[in-house]
Structure 1
Amino acid sequence: MRFEPRLLDEIRARLPLSEIVARRVTWDRRKTQPGKGDYWACCPFHQEKSPSFHVDDRRNRYKCFGCGASGDHFRFLTETEGLSFPEAVERLAEQAGVALPAPDPQAARREQKRAGLADICEMAAQFFETQFKSPRGDAARAYVQKRGLTQETLREFRFGLAPNSRDALKSHLKGQGIPETAMIEAGLLIKPEDGRPPYDRFRGRLMIPIQDDRGRVVAFGGRTMLPDGQPKYLNSPETPLFHKGTMLFNAHRAREPAFKLNQAVVVEGYMDAIALYQAGIRHVVASLGTAFTEDQILRLWRFAPEPVICFDGDAAGVSAAHRAIDRIFPVLKSGYSFQFSFLPDGMDPDDLIKQRGVSGFQEETARAKSLFDVVWDREISVARLDTPERKAALEKRFDDLIGTIRDERVKRRYQLDLKFKLSNLFFELSRQDRKGGRKPGAEAAGGGVIGLARERVAVSDDFGTERLVLGLCMRYPYLLDRNFERVSGLPFVNELHIGVRDALCRIIDDLETAPVAGLISSFDDPLKDIMHEMVLETIGLQEQKQAEFSALNHRFPLLKANPPEDFVEAAFLHFLDVLELNALEEELQSELASADEHLDETSWDRIQALTQDLARRREECAREEGELAERAKKIRSAPPAASADGSAIASI
């Protein structure tokens, strides 16, 4: 439905924005000036301790100066409660006492028809509930009792029973004056093609109403009560009210809890969703037996930016996850993704809750894999990489999948991360081939590739910082991408470090077309050795007992605490400053040495300029170092992200 700007302006004029926002925040008394329509609070969209969220009642706008969120009355409701824009307008119009215009006659007829069908579904739900409570429902009540469902849960989800009869519901609704054609349109009756009378779609089944965002009954799910009954679960067909590809079971209950927790859990079946809800996990929804659609994905993101999809850990669950990936990739956007939790083999969420309780379920979801990791596992698990052609085929599969992403920023990040992860994999494969098939890390600590590298890499003052910068580039490719020009011109001292830097820059410079496998095959043995060593450092293979040589893990141990991305980037930029500062000091020393033999006015001016620049850069580096150390201290003390060895940034 379209709304005239004049109508929206009238709603805004009647409802102060601060009144709407105040339901979600607490105003800061020191900064807020109600008389001027000027309000400040901690942002409801991200975690912060000092108020940077501003509401201006005069302009009817809000803006967070921390995360950038901004909008008006309607945007605030859509962002904090998951409402659609029309739903937000309807709610605020009712609060403001503003009458909404009547829809056009055709739309009014459609809405009237839908309302009529919803009334019929409600009558059917009440009939099923009555049957469930009657003597006919003995077996159904015994079944739900065996499943451990409480009376409160049965009432909340309105469990019912469809009698094992061809026309029990049909006769009941006929007695209420409902025509057969309307029952068929509501999906409650089946009309045979051979001309026989219509009959009840649901017979001998435990009935669970499916409700829309308003809580209206629009369809049903029925579980057979017969030991060998098929299908085990039966849903209503597509109707003017019910579209499987857009709906999520329990969405109307889960929306608010999901927003409060900034989390959403997605399960495969509605019985699983009901079991989790009863256990106290209220931010749970279920798909309705179909593969995820684009509409469902977008709806889930209105609940939380990274919903956790729970699948059984068996082959069917993994297969379902893989199908979901192909639907998710095209609509990925900045800040929004999915996580995947594969439950122990043979268990569904209901089983897990019964055996290990809510804490056991939460432990499993806390170990959820990122979408990136699931994609990687999917492709690598079926890949044979023993020939250049097969390596190229793997790269192409990744390229084709990433090519479906519409958001250019997300696409770039996936290209970066996957190219670098592929480079690590191909480095290892190349080395195994060269070493006669030995596995990575087979050399004794201090010998083999490590010993060779120690002979080839000069231990200079810049060794650790150079190694740290390269390790961060490999683990966080976006840092190299954002600072490409600066990194590509860094004054590295060691030749092999320069070779690693140039190889990484070549991947970035020709990200979309350069095949990684071909690039790696062109490296000489010393470069392959040092790249292999860098890979070990970057992935942190402690079991290789080579940790003492790992610049990334030991010169920057705070990485173990998973610090925020902006902190990692700030530290990375500081390390670049340190390398450039060291180069500047060497340049000054060279100028001073030359001045001992020949000093003229030009040399003197250059020495003065270098001295001033050096003093300024030293001061900046010292300030950066202090700020990073303070942030590191807070990160270490913030549970649960604590560094294992209690140190911050050893090189700062």
Structure 2
Amino acid sequence: MPYISQNFINDLPNQIDIVDLIAKRIVLKKTGDGYRGACPFHGGKNSNLSVSAQKQFYHCFKCGESGGAINFVQKYDNLSFVEAVETIANEFGLAIEYDKSSKPVDPKLERYRDLSKKVSDFYRQQLKVSPAKDKAASYAKNRGISDEIAKRFELGFATPGNNDLLLNFEKTEQSITDLKALGLVKTGEYGDYDFFRDRLIFPIHNSKGSVIAFGGRVFDNTAKAKYLNSQESPIFSKSRELYGLYHARKYSRKMDYILVVEGYMDVVALHQSGITKVVATLGTATTTEHLKTLARTTNTIVFCFDGDDAGRAAAWKALKITLPVVKSGLLVKFLFLPDGEDPDTLVKKESAKAFEQRINKAKMLSKFLFDHVKTQVEFDTIEGKTLFLEKVSALIALVTYDAYQEQLLEGISQVVGQSIEQVKSVFIKQAKKVQTQQIQAQQIQTQVQVPSNMEYEDAMPSFVNDDYEHRYESSPTPRENNSVKVLMGRMISLLLNYPLLADENGVAEERIRKIEKSEVLLKLVREAEVEDEITKEQLIHLFKAKPGIQQRLQELSVLEPYLSEVQAKDEFLSALTKIEKHQSISKVKGKIASANTEQEQRKVMEGIQKNKS
């Protein structure tokens, strides 16, 4: 995206009136040379906010908030700097000037966003006019969704037909091509068909409010895949976007916290109850990019999880992702709900006020960190406390905020009853181990060669064995076989820990299917595609009838060092590409070796060169 011209930003105060801008948001009254109103930032009722048309400046005499037009819109509308500039320009009808030296916007992106809006309108219309609309309306009513909230989130209905969306856009060839690029229309054995069918549709908005993707919820609770998301596209990345962030900013007066929940319906239900500072991840675990976005919006992030084992496991993943991101002024808390409850059911059973009290009393990150590790050791013993100290120290080594790291070490000292010097001595050793593991992980990601470190040799899956069935007369060398074993083992390890690597648009499956001797990995990928919330244990259990494979999967399920989901995805795809390269080279060698004459070999080489060009 191009940068906004600095000259335009500098000149913006000269082209607008800050009084008009602020008066659109709060009530202002003329007082002397300026205007006064109630300050929206500290919630007072008195007219403490002063706005000067002459200086194009505002100031609150109570809380001290002050600044110009851009600053006000940033804080009041909960927007980034660029978003604030664009908002002001739109309100005053100004054409934004971009830096001509920057890269121009790809026209396809705007076309994709425009089409996504039209698709959203189509789904909303179907919720009103489709003969099958009653099931969607009944579902929404049973879940307590009012017409106002349905309109707020632009809920729609994907009809049961195979090609209703397709037929709506069939007159425009470009639209059909774009629908396929966005994953809203798929091509199968019998032709093109709609990706979303017979589902309640949740449009996914970016931070500016543009529709960029969709989520669909089935009406039958027994269905295996209750939720489906659009595939990733040039305008949509699950690792960056958060469902409800646009609505949280728009409908919340201040963002003193943001609650991170697990599903669309939780976001919608909490809005229905008046709790608007809430977002959800999009069928993926929390990522570093998510956290950075949230940290720009609020100073307090509250993760909300079910209180069962699966919920606590998900919370633990979120904690490990969070540790390197914690910065000055940022608080991270964890809210665990009673067994069998989710935000949707609990807020209806209790009240919005009671639920907000739970948010206020959520567990601090440090408390959850210490409590969770305690459950993994026999803390009442000397050995248990030693193991606790080592485990927690290794995690604290991930923290990059020095002051917070120091406080966590102080906390460990109090918990284990040892001096801070003793704790720091253990911490330094663990930090070195973590650093070494990270370097080793980087090596396996970037090198095709078999690592000499036996830790990775041991990671080879036993079911990728040496009696490899070759299609060609020329066999790969032992080193090539070992490289594939290492890479295959790493892919399985990553997939067991991050099942969402099996993307629902089937790209990974399609590529893995072409790899020889990949039956186990392929089965894991297929199962993870079908079951959105499948766990590591459930994936391993698929091979209960094959104890040898199950045991090997159990060994590969231990992933060290810890990786973020983005890192895991990059490494998974990198390993897949390297295996494909190995296989391609082996095929070429086989073709050359099977050529009986020099002339046949020359033809093989010419064919290879032709394919490269």
Both proteins in one fold, TM over 0.5: yes
CA apart distance, 1:84: 1.8
Alpha-carbon RMSD across the aligned residues, in angstroms, is 3.7
What does residue 262 of structure 1 align with?
256
Letter in 2 for 1:197: G
Does residue 513 in structure 1 map to residue 514 in structure 2? no
- Contact preservation (8 Å) 2:306, 2:342: yes
Call closer, same or farther: CA 1:66–1:378 in 2, change over 3 Å: farther
Partner secondary structure for residue 513 of structure 1 = helix
What does residue 180 of structure 1 align with?
176
Call closer, same or farther: CA 1:149–1:67 in 2, change over 3 Å: closer
Partner secondary structure for residue 274 of structure 2 = coil
What is the alpha-carbon distance in structure 2 between the residues aligned to residue 145 and residue 50 of structure 1?
A: 41
- Counterparts of 1:202-601 in structure 2, within 5 Å, are 202-226=196-220, 228-260=222-254, 262-385=256-379, 388-423=382-417, 507=420, 512-513=424-425
What does residue 598 of structure 1 align with?
none
Q: Which of 119, 127, 130 is matched with 2:125 structurally?
A: 130
CA apart distance, 1:43: 7.8
CA apart distance, 1:91: 2.3
* Greater CA drift, 236-245 or 45-54: 45-54
What is the alpha-carbon distance in structure 2 between the residues aligned to residue 293 and residue 49 of structure 1?
A: 39
Higher-Rg structure is: 1
- Counterparts of 1:6-25 in structure 2, within 5 Å, are 6-15=7-16
CA apart distance, 1:389: 4.9
CA apart distance, 1:140: 2.2
Letter in 2 for 1:132: L
- Contact preservation (8 Å) 2:5, 2:98: no
- Contact preservation (8 Å) 1:125, 1:160: yes
Does residue 171 in structure 1 map to residue 167 in structure 2? yes
Q: Which of 142, 146, 153 is matched with 1:146 structurally?
A: 142
CA apart distance, 1:114: 1.9
Q: Which of the two has greater helix per residue?
A: 1
Does residue 120 in structure 1 map to residue 32 in structure 2? no
Partner secondary structure for residue 183 of structure 1 = helix
Call closer, same or farther: CA 1:119–1:26 in 2, change over 3 Å: closer
What does residue 578 of structure 2 align with?
none
Between Structure 1 and Structure 2, how many residues are aligned? Answer: 426
Letter in 2 for 1:147: R
- Give per-residue Cα distances to partners, 1:170-199, cap 9 Å, x unaligned: 12211355543211112201234xx75332
- Contact preservation (8 Å) 1:338, 1:370: yes
What is the alpha-carbon distance in structure 2 between the residues aligned to residue 366 and residue 352 of structure 1?
A: 16
Call closer, same or farther: CA 1:141–1:6 in 2, change over 3 Å: closer
Does residue 78 in structure 1 map to residue 74 in structure 2? yes
Call closer, same or farther: CA 1:97–1:165 in 2, change over 3 Å: closer
Call closer, same or farther: CA 1:270–1:87 in 2, change over 3 Å: same
CA apart distance, 1:330: 0.8
What is the alpha-carbon distance in structure 2 between the residues aligned to residue 187 and residue 15 of structure 1?
A: 42
- Give per-residue Cα distances to partners, 1:545-595, cap 9 Å, x unaligned: xxxxxxxxxxxxxxxxxxxxxxxxxxxxxxxxxxxxxxxxxxxxxxxxxxx
Call closer, same or farther: CA 1:5–1:212 in 2, change over 3 Å: closer
CA apart distance, 1:269: 0.4
Partner secondary structure for residue 410 of structure 1 = helix
- Contact preservation (8 Å) 1:352, 1:360: no
Call closer, same or farther: CA 1:514–1:347 in 2, change over 3 Å: closer
CA apart distance, 1:346: 0.3
Partner secondary structure for residue 406 of structure 1 = coil
Call closer, same or farther: CA 1:34–1:336 in 2, change over 3 Å: farther
What is the alpha-carbon distance in structure 2 between the residues aligned to residue 53 and residue 422 of structure 1?
A: 51
- Give per-residue Cα distances to partners, 1:231-254, cap 9 Å, x unaligned: 111011101121111112122221
Q: Which of 158, 176, 183 is matched with 1:162 structurally?
A: 158
What does residue 3 of structure 2 align with?
2
What is the alpha-carbon distance in structure 2 between the residues aligned to residue 396 and residue 361 of structure 1?
A: 36
* Greater CA drift, 296-305 or 308-317: 296-305
Partner secondary structure for residue 217 of structure 2 = strand
- Give per-residue Cα distances to partners, 1:182-229, cap 9 Å, x unaligned: 11112201234xx75332111222222112223222211111234543
Partner secondary structure for residue 280 of structure 1 = coil
What is the alpha-carbon distance in structure 2 between the residues aligned to residue 25 and residue 204 of structure 1?
A: 43
- Give per-residue Cα distances to partners, 1:132-153, cap 9 Å, x unaligned: 3322122222222222222333
* Greater CA drift, 296-305 or 370-379: 296-305
What is the alpha-carbon distance in structure 2 between the residues aligned to residue 52 and residue 392 of structure 1?
A: 56
Call closer, same or farther: CA 1:51–1:298 in 2, change over 3 Å: farther
- Contact preservation (8 Å) 1:204, 1:226: no
* Greater CA drift, 20-29 or 395-404: 20-29
What is the alpha-carbon distance in structure 2 between the residues aligned to residue 157 and residue 380 of structure 1?
A: 42
Letter in 1 for 2:219: M
Partner secondary structure for residue 148 of structure 1 = coil
Partner secondary structure for residue 175 of structure 1 = coil
What is the alpha-carbon distance in structure 2 between the residues aligned to residue 417 and residue 22 of structure 1?
A: 49
Letter in 1 for 2:355: F
- Contact preservation (8 Å) 2:3, 2:98: no
What is the alpha-carbon distance in structure 1 between the residues aligned to residue 127 and residue 225 of structure 2?
A: 21
Call closer, same or farther: CA 1:147–1:220 in 2, change over 3 Å: same
- Give per-residue Cα distances to partners, 1:414-447, cap 9 Å, x unaligned: 2223322332xx6xxxxxxxxxxxxxxxxxxxxx
Letter in 1 for 2:6: P
With normalisation by structure 1, the TM-score equals: 0.57
CA apart distance, 1:78: 3.1
What is the alpha-carbon distance in structure 2 between the residues aligned to residue 178 and residue 13 of structure 1?
A: 42
Partner secondary structure for residue 331 of structure 1 = coil
What is the alpha-carbon distance in structure 1 between the residues aligned to residue 198 and residue 161 of structure 2?
A: 7
CA apart distance, 1:51: 11
